[in-house]
Structure 1
């Protein structure tokens, strides 16, 4: 195993352990129906999201296609997979509740399986998949 390569270890269909640093789950938001002002408001609202269970990263790299990705992260240090799963579930519920406070809340869906690997490989093309 090359120590410089990033590692991708599936925990289940929706969660991976990325590079022994974070448990990662990704949500896809459909922002295609939102105008520029609504998108700005949504971004600011998401940026203000705070949770003791997860960290949130907002990826707007596919905004021109009407898609944003939300990376839900739990640090790996001292966290077992079952505890990470529970934290991600609680954090996802908190995030959904937070999104419902917006006048325009876009549809969201989980990214899983091969789609999750594709998403991670967009930024880490040489990621090493560990069984």
Structure 2
């Protein structure tokens, strides 16, 4: 079985270029203190988020461990790293404003360096690191 190789390029400690498709930043959410209705409310609230600067994906694959991950994405097409960084910053500000309307506020932690690499690698075992 031939595994598909994806490209991974660190732009800085918090942003990577994934497979020449998206600039990616990942936020870890500790949802362990939340009950089921609170989790459902938070998921719905995050799912409704819209931005012209970023796309937001919610990874609930480790919900059984009390963890969610937010993948904050900017398409790579015709976007230079500095522009992507600015769009990510604006998008995070928009997300923070949107988040403030939600009564549930789990602890957040930005994945950096090796942590973001390990997160991406678990879904893409044949990850090719570029310069």
TM-score relative to the length of structure 1: 0.95
* SS of equivalent to 1:95: helix
- Equivalence for 2:30: 30
- Equivalence for 2:48: 48
1:115 aligned onto 2:119:
no
Unmatched segments (≥5 aa) in structure 1: none
- Equivalence for 1:17: 17
Distance 1:73 1:26 in 2: 9
- Equivalence for 1:5: 5
* SS of equivalent to 1:13: coil
Distance 1:106 1:127 in 2: 31
Structure 1 segments, 4+ long, off by >6 Å, are none
Task: Write the deviation string for residues 34-70 of structure 1: whole angstroms up to 9, x where unpaired.
Answer: 0000000000000000000000000001111111000
Unmatched segments (≥5 aa) in structure 2: none
Distance 2:94 2:29 in 1: 16
* SS of equivalent to 2:103: coil
TM-score relative to the length of structure 2: 0.95
